[in-house]
Structure 1
Amino acid sequence: MNTRLDSSAPGRVERGNGLFGVYVHWPFCAAKCPYCDFNSHVHRGAFDEATYVRSYAREIAHFAALTPGRKVQSVFFGGGTPSLMDPRSVAGILDAIGQHWEIDSKAEITLEANPTSVEAGRFKGYRAAGVNRVSLGVQSLRDGPLAELGRRHSVDEAIAAVRLAQSIFPRSSFDLIYARPRQTLDDWKDELTEALWLAQGHVSLYQLTIEMGTRYYDLFQAGKLKMPDEDLSVDFYELTQELTANAGLPAYEISNHARPGQESRHNLLYWRYGEYVGVGPGAHGRLLIGNQRHATAAEKLPFDWQQKVAARGHGLVTDDVLSWEEEGDELLVMGLRLREGIDPKRFAQLSGRAISDRQIAELKSIGFVETLPNGFIRVTDRGWPVLDAVVADLAA
């Protein structure tokens, strides 16, 4: 466990910003996609979902005891495939959250869904349970790439699911993956143009990345999967920014686009370095306890997690106190993804040091960062494709 200066000492700074949310991880999927490195598991056989959900309620109680008095501004059901859950399970988890914390009357309650597990009765059940936003894993509007990505739905099913979600929930979004093997810029222009006609307030657009431990990683290492080179990846990114901006859904984060007021509040909580509880197998959290920021992570295996919760009330396998330097680095990594940028004063408060004026000046000279009228520092359009390098320079 890491250590740092005593946060109870005179002159300490308050490390929170008033943002608090709950992430709920549902680990089960109908199938494992070849590009996915998330903590997802295909389970076959008998499964007592009601008993399993009671483990979530117990872990929520554990975290609530550590974070009394918080007001929940967002809840996010991620996975895995949360849309495989019985709507009563979603309602039970939300009830448990409401029993231990106050839920803001305007809280955003998001549930991720796959088009293959969507039907009107289930969606209406989620809405009745309190869900007011869904995020659909569409991934492509072309049947061939959908099959290559391991998706089990067709384009027609995806479009029907998006329209159904838009008719039932006040807010919705869907994801697409681009810069895929053999995809051309013209292909993506046509596909994204169709997607932007379909989208309403929000869309998430991710360049395909090869993650260790996935089937795609094995194929890539074997030379059987050819990815776009760096220059083409930048061209894909710039085309994406142009089309989304012209459609009235500009990027507010490097991979997320929304009309004003339609941004994902839960993801903004992450990127603005707020506080969040991570509930369920493999879930991560960032909690302020005694003015120290704890980085938590739970057991990944679904039924091992359940056994740990039964034995001790939680499934945590990691609970580290972050150093001031680590907090500052996390603020940079998260906040510089945002179009609004970061407040250098908050960085100095959290990390105990200022960002180097020399580094800022060097990055400005090559057009990678800029200072806004409110004093925030943000990465420019030119700098976003090399964001990792920009963050490393500022953190040095």
Structure 2
Amino acid sequence: MNKADSELGVYVHWPYCARICPYCDFNVFKNRKVDEKSWIDAFGKELEHWAEITGPRNLTSIYFGGGTPSLAPPDVINAVIEKCKALWGHSDNIEITLESNPTDVERDRFSKFHDAGVNRLSLGIQSLNDEALKFLGRDHTASEGMNALDVAQSTFANVSIDLIYALPEQTLDQWRNELQTAMGAGVGHLSLYQLTIEEGTAFAKAVKQGRWTPTASDNAADMFELTQQVTAAVGLPAYEISNHATPGQESKHNQIYWRYADYVGIGPGAHGRISVDGRKFASETIRYPAAYLSSVIERGNGTEEFYALSPEDELYERFAMGLRTNAGITLYADDIFYEDEERVVRLNSLVNDGYLANNCGRLTATDQGLRILDTIIFEVFR
């Protein structure tokens, strides 16, 4: 395949939020006034830097994440989109996603982002239960979330919503009702995440202090199984461990990650994976916004790290990403995976025990395996 035909995604990290959620461990900072021109210039210079490295590519996805990119000025979003299109060839059906929270301020801006070039909205509703929303530190109600969804669906042809489940004291019936309400709204894509306690977050501190106890693993597993059953029954099957879609509504950008394709990451703390001369390179930008902006002005980019992954690290990432999906990964006869005989034995044992399926080199996780996928990956690569 000609390099110019190979797909490329661009991830843009907007680092600011109105408030920091207690479960969030992303690179985020409390919202402040921003210099619109500084961000447009910085993002533009970074994109030029990466375009020189990647060369001509087929741009299939731009994803604005954060943070809360719906707090960014629409002109910044538009400038990034137009710059990306000017630097790389892009497909006619390019997917351009913006993450948003369902607050009144952001709802009023949906049409502006649509006019700026965004064609897919990812709405962070997170829960349809007011008490759960308070627990999660969200600044909207369930009613406001559903109202925002109505506005989003009237503005964008492609809308996804995020929900978090396996909350303390949440029952199977409560989660089933939330799911059914969300699916009844007619969305074509759902991102459904179990609550995890990440180090350094307010939730991690609360759990260590004994203020509340996370959901037991058995209960979380039951909720995961219920999720798969309920979504599949209405035509929203899982195409990845946490993502469900009607056919044709799968996230192109997320599939770039899971297929281990190339993507550029710009903005404070963004990560990227780029192929150069047959090797996969990892990148990470400077985390602090002021330092990031200064670096771009002085050096023309905000890169803090850029290094070639070892063949073993590349294999691990390809394996860990691919097994999250229903497509799985392909292990060819000459794959370096087979150079470690003990690893092959462990893999075959997982297949024999029903956690993995191996169909002529196409490796997928079974329903049983998906429930303990992190453990399986650790077992294979230990």
Give TM class, smaller chain: over 0.9
Contact kept? 2:5, 2:58, Cα under 8 Å: no
3-state SS of paired residue (1:109)? strand
Looking at structure 1, the residues matched to 261 and 4 of structure 2 have their Cα atoms a distance apart, in angstroms, of 7
Q: 1:28: which partner in 2?
A: 16
Deviation at 1:249, TM superposition (A): 0.5
Contact kept? 1:305, 1:315, Cα under 8 Å: yes
CA gap of 1:352–1:19, structure 2 versus 1, over 3 A, is farther
CA gap of 1:147–1:284, structure 2 versus 1, over 3 A, is same
Deviation at 1:352, TM superposition (A): 7.6
Aligned AA for 1:379? A
* Selected match of 1:160 from 125, 147, 151: 147
3-state SS of paired residue (2:367)? coil
Contact kept? 2:23, 2:197, Cα under 8 Å: yes
TM-score (norm 2): 0.95
3-state SS of paired residue (2:371)? helix
Residues 273-329 of structure 1: CA distance to partner in whole angstroms, max 9, x if unpaired? 000000100000001122221110011111110011111011111112101111000
Deviation at 1:15, TM superposition (A): 11
Looking at structure 1, the residues matched to 54 and 207 of structure 2 have their Cα atoms a distance apart, in angstroms, of 44
Deviation at 1:382, TM superposition (A): 0.6
Structure 2 unaligned blocks of 5 or more: none
Looking at structure 1, the residues matched to 106 and 23 of structure 2 have their Cα atoms a distance apart, in angstroms, of 26
Looking at structure 2, the residues matched to 323 and 48 of structure 1 have their Cα atoms a distance apart, in angstroms, of 39
* Selected match of 1:75 from 62, 68, 81: 62
Looking at structure 2, the residues matched to 118 and 352 of structure 1 have their Cα atoms a distance apart, in angstroms, of 54
3-state SS of paired residue (2:274)? strand
Structure 1 unaligned blocks of 5 or more: 1-13
* Selected match of 2:357 from 362, 365, 370: 370
Tell me how large the CA RMSD over aligned residues is: 2.1
Deviation at 1:53, TM superposition (A): 2.1
Q: 2:293: which partner in 1?
A: 306
Contact kept? 1:325, 1:352, Cα under 8 Å: no
Aligned AA for 2:372? V
3-state SS of paired residue (1:186)? helix
Q: In the alignment, is residue 218 of structure 1 matched against residue 202 of structure 2?
A: no
Looking at structure 1, the residues matched to 3 and 204 of structure 2 have their Cα atoms a distance apart, in angstroms, of 38
* Selected match of 1:380 from 357, 361, 366: 366
3-state SS of paired residue (2:184)? helix
CA gap of 1:352–1:105, structure 2 versus 1, over 3 A, is farther
* Selected match of 2:163 from 171, 176, 186: 176
Looking at structure 2, the residues matched to 395 and 261 of structure 1 have their Cα atoms a distance apart, in angstroms, of 34
* Selected match of 2:31 from 27, 32, 43: 43
Q: 2:251: which partner in 1?
A: 264
Residues 91-135 of structure 1: CA distance to partner in whole angstroms, max 9, x if unpaired? 101111122111211111100000015555521121122111110
Deviation at 1:39, TM superposition (A): 0.7
Q: How does 1:99-138 map to 2 (within 5 A)?
A: 99-116=86-103, 119=106, 121-138=108-125
Q: 1:295: which partner in 2?
A: 282
Contact kept? 1:173, 1:199, Cα under 8 Å: no
CA gap of 1:43–1:200, structure 2 versus 1, over 3 A, is closer
State, as a whole percentage, how many aligned pairs show the same letter.
Answer: 43
Q: 1:358: which partner in 2?
A: 345
Where do 4+ consecutive residues of structure 1 move more than 6 Å?
Answer: 14-17
